[in-house]
Structure 1
Amino acid sequence: MKKLLKTGLIAAIAATCFTTSNVVAREAAMNEKHAAAATEYRKALFQLVRSNMAPLGGMAKGAIPFDQDVIATNALRLEQLADMMSDYLMVDTRKFDVDTGAKDDIWENWSDFEGKVANLKSAAENLSSVAAAGDESKYRAAIGQVGGACKGCHDDYKAD
């Protein structure tokens, strides 16, 4: 019975955290373990962004041929990943010694950070539209917009 009550309490707390996460702009990590896990998850998210950007960058530079299917697939993935960014960066890990590339400014300028994430999503949506239209003459510019959105965030919020 105690185990069932404890499990129910944990589930209720988790549900509350998930349902209120859209209301609260950010939350402080509860402990070192929480901060380390949050950092690990956001690094995984950005690895996925990087893996989807790499072929797009190669196409924009002319290093590999344009491939409409890859552009469409990766643009959609980048839209989806952008949707997750605020959630995965919501946990403020500044109080703990974790290996992170995130600058403290993310949590100090949360609304600006979210605006930069929105710019990425918008640029990825545009790239999806360009890919769907199949107009190869517009690929390079649309990919450049996505790269520019990434750079805009990196310049302000990613430690070198």
Structure 2
Amino acid sequence: MKLKRLPVSLALAAVFVLPACEQKPPISPEVKQAMETRHEGFEKIGDSMKTIADTLKAGGSLNPELASAANTIDDLAPQLKDWFPAGSGHETKRKTGAKAEIWLKPDEFAQKREALVTEAGKLAALANANDAAGFAAQVPELGKACKGCHDEFRDKDHH
């Protein structure tokens, strides 16, 4: 009679015990906030880059929407330095595209980050000067800065 209850007991134990084994470690509110800010910031940068690239690929040129997108990127790029505090990588067991190399190679990551800040600043300046030709020529340079960081510091399987 007791053997008949064993499978039910094992099933119930699995329902309650296995999820506990998969629990995410606790993280500080500051790290959680940094991860959320990082995610939201990169979403805005990505959306802005997409708006710019799609418009230019379709034959469009600099307009107020693209200038706004360029200024969004320029405003957010310097903030990246605060988006990667220690303890905000894969060790959190939360979804992140940040590779461990960010923290293992901080000087190299800082150089890539500063390249983004520089190229974003140039793009925004050209947009604000209403220099359509210069703006169009600068977009690939900003793209190279993004790619330079993505190649080494972004987990491609994240998205």
What is the TM-score normalised by the length of structure 2? 0.72
Q: Secondary structure at the match of 2:92?
A: coil
8 Å CA contact 1:79–1:124 kept in 2: the answer is yes
Q: Does 1:129 align with 2:125?
A: yes
Q: Does 1:40 align with 2:36?
A: yes
8 Å CA contact 1:113–1:153 kept in 2: the answer is yes
Give the superposition deviation at 1:47. 0.6
8 Å CA contact 2:112–2:148 kept in 1: the answer is yes
Aligned with residue 92 of structure 2, among 96, 102, 106: 96
Q: Does 1:144 align with 2:137?
A: no
Query: Residues of 1 paired with 2:127 and 2:140: CA distance?
Result: 14
Matching residue of 1:23 = none
Aligned length: 129
Matching residue of 1:83 = 78
Matching residue of 1:57 = 53
4+ residue runs over 3 A deviation: 35-38
Which is higher, the Rg of structure 1 or of structure 2? 2
5+ residue gaps in structure 1?
A: 1-30
**Equivalent position amino acid for 1:39 in 2:** M
Give the superposition deviation at 1:64. 5.3
Query: Residues of 2 paired with 1:66 and 1:159: CA distance?
Result: 32
Matching residue of 1:106 = 102
8 Å CA contact 2:61–2:136 kept in 1: the answer is no
5+ residue gaps in structure 2?
A: 1-24
Query: Residues of 1 paired with 2:92 and 2:133: CA distance?
Result: 48
8 Å CA contact 1:130–1:138 kept in 2: the answer is yes
Identity among equivalent pairs (%): 27
Give the superposition deviation at 1:37. 4.2
Higher RCO (C-alpha under 8 Å, 6+ residues apart): 1
